[in-house]
Structure 1
Amino acid sequence: MTTAVAPRITSLHVFCAVLAVAVLARPLLTDALAVPVLQTAATVFVAVCVQAIPFLVLGVLLSGAIAAFVSPAVLRRALPARPAAAVPVAGAAGLVLPGCECASVPVARRLIGQGVPDAAALTFLLAAPAINPVVLVATAVAFPGEPRMVLARLAGSLATACVMGWLWQRLGRAEWIAERARRAAPQTHGGGRLGVLAETARHDLVTAGGFLVLGALVAAALSVLVPPAWMEALAGQLLLAILVMAVLAVVLALCSEADAFVAAALSTLPLLPRLVFLVVGPAVDVKLIALQAGTFGRAFAARFAPLTFVVAVLCAVGAGVVFL
């Protein structure tokens, strides 16, 4: 006798249901948006989402392909034997082995489990989601006519990754990383490599898509709720603007493939605070802190996250002074 298995409701089903409700409620939504303020907010929200979604989809597909077809052993074999020299090589690997923030944490764990020096693995963790080609192209599209932002983001993010790697090599202790992170992580996906690709891309898209919507909502809210005089006053206080944008990057926890469009929507602010937002976000935010605590232990996250925040802000400011 076989028992009936209840159908499993996935995030894809929820997404389709919400989309269907939105289509059926279109007349009501159209009437509700007749208010000029809501029309402005809706325009900003839609613009951010429409611009960012293609890069978000491309990014998660690349991340899934890397998880499915590129073993961390490839990077391990390419790294120099000396940890100090392995750090910049691991940082540069982010240009050719892209991944989103969520994917970079388990990849770094696999690298450590395969014997890669901690400093090099953590450098790759910070570099891969911040300087990969998808992120740089998205930044160029979000800031047309401002190629300096692309160079500044590349320099600031790569410097953050390398400085953190060298600092961890010099100051970090092996016991700060939980022992479970040093054991080789088993592959749990079925269905072969295509199954790994599909599952990784689906998971990253659902996760990152939710944060993209949150970021677009915040950008839309700021465009209509914050008086222009406040934004102008913040723009005139450069240090305060840098601090506010750094904290906002930590709280919003946007995907690196989409954060440039949210930063571009805050056009009242100077380029430097927005650059800080773009460098800090992929390096340290609330979801990354939670992932790092769960993967490497709370002792690691309690030390790594605050130090990364300070280093990212300083490197972003330094890159901004040079390139902007």
Structure 2
Amino acid sequence: MAEVSATASPPQHLGPPGGGIGAEKPLRRNGTVGSVLVWAVVVAVLAGPWLERLFGLAAFGAWRTLLVAIVVQGVPFLLLGTVVSAAIGAFVPARVFAKALPRNPVLAVPVAGAAGVVLPGCECASVPVASSLMRRGVAPAAALTFLLAAPAVNPVVLVSTAIAFPGSPEMVAARLAASLVTAVVMGWLWIRLGREEWLRLPTGHAEQAPGAGRWGAFRRGLQHDFLHAGGFLVVGAMAAATFNVLVPPSVLEAFSDSPWLGVLVAATLAVLLSVCSEADAFVAASFTGFSPTARLAFMVVGPMVDMKLIALQSGAFGRAFAWRFCAGTFVVAVLCCVLVGGVLL
């Protein structure tokens, strides 16, 4: 696949698309949604005992306990991941990544995948970063590999996985291996099968607010990523708690009896729940009725294919690309999880 020619434009902020003054409206919307979700958790915690006594909702206590446990465990890692991601977007120019990658796309793909291990980034930040890399001459296959790998195999995600699955280092190794292999395979598949007409590169450039500087860009990037991803964490925690309370054990046993069905169901839940990668391990750990391979699929598929990523990729690269790339990534990720899970789990 031929490389996209570099532009002569100066480095820009790699934060949310549509930066600058116009970006304040999306930030305010994210802030409103995030605040509503936070207050929903607070109300659930404070009013839980009263609701249990008034309506006799015994199951609500278990739901509330699970919700709080998942949120409390996930928030520190979510905050750490978004701080690092915002710092990279504000202070590290994209040309640093372009110079570090081999010019041969076939060789650049595994290097870009390995870069995701040491350069944390959440799903929301990976799309604009990948777009900027392509505009600066990085081969699309390498940029897309980094897009998949960065939120899936970075140190913050691996540490949170180790804490969510104490005494199970094989789960951390399986997540690293399955995610990295998926990202590299998708990069090579794009070289072999991808078409340039599918990929619509944006021509506009985000601008910083006048006088904001890099620290202003860092603040806006941190605010956007934390509120946006934090809202999805709360939604995912609510869904996970509801799932554990309402779904009878007999249903989960049916999934356990069919390994393929359990893996597909868990992978589909990852797409629908759209939990941030810094916190999804705690949600996966709460799915005790699923097999280890199915929980691995939840953690591998989520950072690469979910509802918010499909929307972000559609806006950045076009719907023709997003649906093909996301569908291919889903299939490759599930197959990698089955293979890696069969060996390590």
Same fold (TM over 0.5): yes
Distance (whole Å) between structure 1 residues aligned to residue 216 and residue 84 of structure 2: 14
Match of 1:82 in 2: 104
Q: Report the residue type matching 1:224 in the other structure.
A: V
The equivalences for 1:219-238 within 5 A come to 219-238=240-259
Distance 1:149 1:170, change over 3 A: same
Question: Displacement, 1:193?
Answer: 1.1
- Residue 278 in 1 paired to residue 325 in 2? no
Distance (whole Å) between structure 1 residues aligned to residue 138 and residue 205 of structure 2: 14
Distance (whole Å) between structure 2 residues aligned to residue 157 and residue 23 of structure 1: 34
Question: Displacement, 1:188?
Answer: 3.2
- Residue 263 in 1 paired to residue 284 in 2? yes
Which residue of 224, 232, 237 maps to 1:211? Answer: 232
Instruction: Flag structure 2 segments of 5+ consecutive residues without an equivalent.
Output: 1-24
Match of 1:252 in 2: 273
Distance (whole Å) between structure 2 residues aligned to residue 208 and residue 194 of structure 1: 21
Which residue of 187, 197, 221 maps to 1:175? Answer: 197
Distance (whole Å) between structure 2 residues aligned to residue 215 and residue 310 of structure 1: 22
Residues paired across the two proteins, number: 315
Question: Displacement, 1:303?
Answer: 1.4
Question: Displacement, 1:186?
Answer: 3.4
The equivalences for 1:269-308 within 5 A come to 269-308=290-329
SS of the residue aligned with 1:58?
Answer: helix
Instruction: Note if contact 1:114-1:184 (Cα within 8 Å) is conserved in structure 2.
Output: no
Distance (whole Å) between structure 2 residues aligned to residue 235 and residue 45 of structure 1: 24
Match of 2:69 in 1: 47
Distance 1:74 1:33, change over 3 A: farther
Distance 1:270 1:25, change over 3 A: closer
Distance (whole Å) between structure 1 residues aligned to residue 46 and residue 136 of structure 2: 56
Q: Please report the TM-score for the alignment, with normalisation by the length of structure 2.
A: 0.86
Match of 1:188 in 2: 208
Higher deviation after alignment, 140-149 or 188-197:
188-197
Q: Report the residue type matching 2:161 in the other structure.
A: T
Distance (whole Å) between structure 2 residues aligned to residue 24 and residue 242 of structure 1: 34
Question: Displacement, 1:244?
Answer: 0.4
Q: Report the residue type matching 2:278 in the other structure.
A: E
Match of 1:4 in 2: none
Which string of whole-angstrom CA distances, capped at 9 and with x for unpartnered residues, describes residues 156-208 of structure 1? 00001100000001111111111x43x37333345111111111111111111
Higher deviation after alignment, 24-33 or 241-250:
24-33
Which string of whole-angstrom CA distances, capped at 9 and with x for unpartnered residues, describes residues 234-292 of structure 1? 22211110110111111111110011000000112210000011111111111111111
Percent identity, aligned pairs only, is: 55
Distance (whole Å) between structure 2 residues aligned to residue 215 and residue 77 of structure 1: 38
